[in-house]
Structure 1
Amino acid sequence: MLLVYTHKISPRLKYVFRHICTRVLGVKVGFTNKIEEFIAHDSLKMSYTKQQLSNEFFIKSHDILFEQGLSDVDINIHDWGNSKCFFYNGEKSTIPFDIFSAAFYLLSRYEEYLPHVKDEFGRFTAKESLAYKHGFLQQPVVDIWAYKFKEALQQQFPDFKFPKKTYSIKPIIDVPSAYNYKLKGIMRSFGGATKDFFKLRFRSLYNRFGVILGLKHDPYDTFKYIINKQKQTPFKFLFFFLIGDYSTYDKGINPNKKKFISLIKHIADYSRVGLKASYFAIDNASILKKEKIRMEAIINKPLTASRQSFSRLNLPDSYRYLIELEIKEDYTMGYVNHIGFRAGSCTPFLFYDLDYEIQTPLKIHPYHLMDFALLKKKSLLDKKKVLNEIINQIKQVNGEFVPVFHNYTFVNGNRWKGFKELFNLILNSANED
């Protein structure tokens, strides 16, 4: 166990030390403000306070972990090896930065509580983030800092054996609409056909009637292919189905359709199934509760995971609703149009509520890439290049790679050409050194 001496054992301090030491590095951590207890400890130990006691492993503390609420935090970004960091400590500290305060700032999403410009869907955008502005969005800096901390500890405690962690993948299959043409009902099918006709989309019109008449396969129905891929890998896929009511933003399949219910049950036999919460559920706990109950009735077990439609997050309310409904995991933390690490980490972490100053039981699994972000790269070669770069970043810190693909990503259309190959690249990355 790593024992940390500090002048004040605050909720923020315990939260971030447990993430870096226990979740990232696999080492248990304890805390004390008694010098005698600290001196008597005969294993890993460090002081985290304003002034070094003697010649122990020491990191000078920033004030942020001992504050409550929000304040104007002065942040200056510095280079640190191949990465970047902030909250510089100077030479008296064993490592030159207070990585715990910096990690807390990123993990708590402190910057998302501060005034910022939202996009048309009310989302915090990558371009508003500290990581994007200073060029470290595509690095899991919290995990990189943790490994630099580990390296410094090993130099001072060479006999201590750190546990080993391995790279893993958790593919997300997002299903806003299980079918493009099937099970849409008479009115929606008629409206879609009319729109196709007036916009001269005759191929779509031909395909629509072919599917409705049972002569063609619905292009969005790629589930057999995905399940076959699931059978070939030890890592469980996680499907998120939209079962909310029809609206301007959510145009999925009617959740009362028996064939749709059968599809979800079939998928649940092979993979995990979570709820893709509808657009308006983010602002309305009663809508979210209704959708949760609906999904639990289909999968016949408690719902444990959710993901917000359009990757919308309204902190802290969005996460409080999930906690209130006893949903244990969220997969919304990421950027739709940018590859990278929104919270600076590729290790799942617990949500810290800055208003109440408590660590909550909700586990956040940040996603690092959505298929839409890869569309920005024109050639398949360029797509593979950026994909390999993000995979290598995560592998270097033995993290968890969470990519988001949609069921329609595997359609053999021009827009998504080559995406099956990219998905295979991700699945195979776990078997490579």
Structure 2
Amino acid sequence: MPASIIAPAVPVAAASISSEVRLAYVLQHFWQAYEPTSPVTIGVPGQQAQVEVAVADAGFFDQRQPYPPAPIWHEWQGREVPFFFGPAAGQPLLTLQSGRALVHADLVSAAFYLLSGWQEYFSEERDQHGRFPYAASVQHQYGFVDVPVVNCYFEVLRTAVEHVTGEQLRPRRWLGGAKWAAFVTHDVDSLFGSWKAPAKAALQQGRLLETFQIAMRSLAGVDAWNNLEAVQATARKHGAPSTFFMLGSTQKAANGTPNADYRVSAPGMQRRLRNLQASGAELSVHGSIGTATDAAKLRREKQLLPGTVSGNRFHYLSWEPRLTPGLVDAEGFGYDSTLGFPEHFGFRNSYCLPFQPFNFATGRACSFLEIPLNVMDATLHHPSYLQLAPQEILPALEPMLQEIERFGGVCTLLWHNDHFDPANTVTGPRQFAALMEYLRSRNVAFMTGQQIVNDQKPS
């Protein structure tokens, strides 16, 4: 792993995380992933369980190290899957006996490690924005960011359960009985910034009158990015409700990172937001820089939005694993949708379903639902990220989308409002339309965050 970039100032404070806690956390999510079936016991050796899962972590979770030994790759259902904590190469993953099933991989430890975000919590790696970097992850090191490995582990368990019960264990269905779902979101960072690039170009070429006219149109609110209603109409044309994540602060962060260039509390903006809600959009908080570690500030920004607000996504995908999960939980959010790598599309926690993050400070699952972020427009062509050409975007994403559909998961798509600018020909309206048409062609259920919470989160 790379050397530390910025060590977090937040100290490690973790409760004792026993094997029983890890087993309960993993099984909680396993049973949420499938429709109910006949009762079956899943446990470790010595518990007389019908499905027995090996224990092979060798005390890893007592050491508080961020990275385990390298995974061993095994073929499962025609693909090579990385298995942390065994079994050794050449050994079977699963043995089926009369009325019993023996899982020879320590799937509980491996699933807990990835799903809980253990590597982020115990790593000191952070980037210039205080985020755990993709380059420091096991997903990057072993090349499986676009494969939901925890879902693969669950498929091994599913096979064992089906053998014991004699019943098919079906993935859960979504709104209207769809096999999978899509969550279409828009982070609203700027409404008045489209003029800057053309104005700069005109100024550099000495076209002073044109520069002045461009600036005046923006000041009058005539800006290609001041387009929330048009964004909603575009998504609705493809059959999807829009979820807008709205920034509540106009102050730059201490390091100069910008927040909003609009005031969400302005009367005119409040009217627009209420109208968007009335026409089917969902409004959620886009926690400004600093709110991922400041509960009071996040609470104030939540209160600025009209109506009932259930969701949050932090600006710049800020997330301090040692503080943020407990903070989001305490503030009563129904869901968060921050956890994706800005540098690469895929699965930050190696899971394609919503899940309840693990709170290491308390040793329990959080009560809010994390709806993982899978793909962001900026990731696809930002100079620091993937730099895909327009024609490369959908082919690059299709394998990941096929994984989500295969496991009955949720595809969370982030397309910023400024990327709906017709001048954007790289990650703009045309690329958004191609992705939406693909999703429609695969009979996805388009849902808001709150609908996903209502459908998936246990009571």
- Percent of paired sites with the same residue: 18
Are the counterparts in 2 of residues 240 and 274 from structure 1 also a CA contact under 8 Å? Answer: yes
Match of 2:40 in 1: 45
Are the counterparts in 2 of residues 197 and 205 from structure 1 also a CA contact under 8 Å? Answer: no
Take 1:175 and 1:201, find their aligned partners in 2: how far apart are those partners? 32
Which digits, 9 at most, give the CA deviation of each residue in 1:64-108, with x for residues without a partner? 899678357643312122122211145586334222221111111
Are the counterparts in 2 of residues 246 and 254 from structure 1 also a CA contact under 8 Å? Answer: no
Structure 2 unpaired stretches of 5+ = 1-17, 96-101, 174-178, 444-459
Which digits, 9 at most, give the CA deviation of each residue in 1:178-215, with x for residues without a partner? 33379xxxxxx9xx99977765595665432234457x
Paired residues in the alignment total: 396
Match of 1:34 in 2: none
Shift of 1:294: 1.6
Match of 1:347 in 2: 353
Match of 2:73 in 1: 79
Q: Classify the secondary structure of the residue corresponding to 1:300.
A: coil
- AA matched with 2:51: F
After superposing the two structures, state which structure 1 stretch, 81-90 or 352-361, moved more. 81-90
Residue 274, structure 1, aligned to residue 289, structure 2? no
1:326-341 correspondence runs (5 A)? 326-341=332-347
Match of 1:5 in 2: none
- AA matched with 2:396: V
Task: Call closer, same or farther: CA 1:374–1:105 in 2, change over 3 Å.
Answer: same
Match of 2:249 in 1: 244
Task: Call closer, same or farther: CA 1:58–1:402 in 2, change over 3 Å.
Answer: same
Are the counterparts in 2 of residues 243 and 252 from structure 1 also a CA contact under 8 Å? Answer: no
Match of 1:209 in 2: 216
Shift of 1:24: 1.5
- AA matched with 2:269: F
After superposing the two structures, state which structure 1 stretch, 196-205 or 140-149, moved more. 196-205
After superposing the two structures, state which structure 1 stretch, 339-348 or 74-83, moved more. 74-83
1:13-412 correspondence runs (5 A)? 13-20=23-30, 22-27=31-36, 43-51=38-46, 53=48, 56-62=50-56, 70=64, 74-81=68-75, 82=79, 83-89=81-87, 91=92, 94-160=102-168, 162=170, 164-165=172-173, 166-180=179-193, 205-212=212-219, 217-233=222-238, 235-247=240-252, 248=256, 249-269=258-278, 270-295=280-305, 299-301=306-308, 303-375=309-381, 376-412=386-422
Match of 2:448 in 1: none
Task: Call closer, same or farther: CA 1:46–1:229 in 2, change over 3 Å.
Answer: same
- AA matched with 2:82: K
Q: CA RMSD in A?
A: 3.1
Shift of 1:177: 1.8
Task: Call closer, same or farther: CA 1:223–1:108 in 2, change over 3 Å.
Answer: same
- AA matched with 1:50: P
Q: Classify the secondary structure of the residue corresponding to 1:171.
A: strand
Take 2:53 and 2:139, find their aligned partners in 1: how far apart are those partners? 23
Take 2:163 and 2:274, find their aligned partners in 1: how far apart are those partners? 53
Take 1:114 and 1:334, find their aligned partners in 2: how far apart are those partners? 18
**What's the TM-score, normalizing by structure 2?**
0.77
Are the counterparts in 1 of residues 354 and 370 from structure 2 also a CA contact under 8 Å? Answer: yes
Take 2:59 and 2:334, find their aligned partners in 1: how far apart are those partners? 26
Q: Classify the secondary structure of the residue corresponding to 2:285.
A: strand
Structure 1 unpaired stretches of 5+ = 1-7, 29-42, 183-188
Are the counterparts in 2 of residues 13 and 66 from structure 1 also a CA contact under 8 Å? Answer: no
Are the counterparts in 1 of residues 182 and 412 from structure 2 also a CA contact under 8 Å? Answer: yes
Are the counterparts in 1 of residues 232 and 241 from structure 2 also a CA contact under 8 Å? Answer: no
Match of 2:15 in 1: none
- AA matched with 1:259: G
Task: Call closer, same or farther: CA 1:391–1:75 in 2, change over 3 Å.
Answer: same
Are the counterparts in 2 of residues 350 and 360 from structure 1 also a CA contact under 8 Å? Answer: yes
Are the counterparts in 1 of residues 415 and 432 from structure 2 also a CA contact under 8 Å? Answer: no
Are the counterparts in 2 of residues 242 and 278 from structure 1 also a CA contact under 8 Å? Answer: yes
Shift of 1:219: 0.9
After superposing the two structures, state which structure 1 stretch, 98-107 or 146-155, moved more. 146-155
Are the counterparts in 2 of residues 380 and 418 from structure 1 also a CA contact under 8 Å? Answer: no
Are the counterparts in 1 of residues 51 and 103 from structure 2 also a CA contact under 8 Å? Answer: no
Q: Classify the secondary structure of the residue corresponding to 1:180.
A: coil
- AA matched with 2:109: S
Take 2:380 and 2:235, find their aligned partners in 1: how far apart are those partners? 22
- AA matched with 2:122: L
Are the counterparts in 1 of residues 337 and 371 from structure 2 also a CA contact under 8 Å? Answer: yes
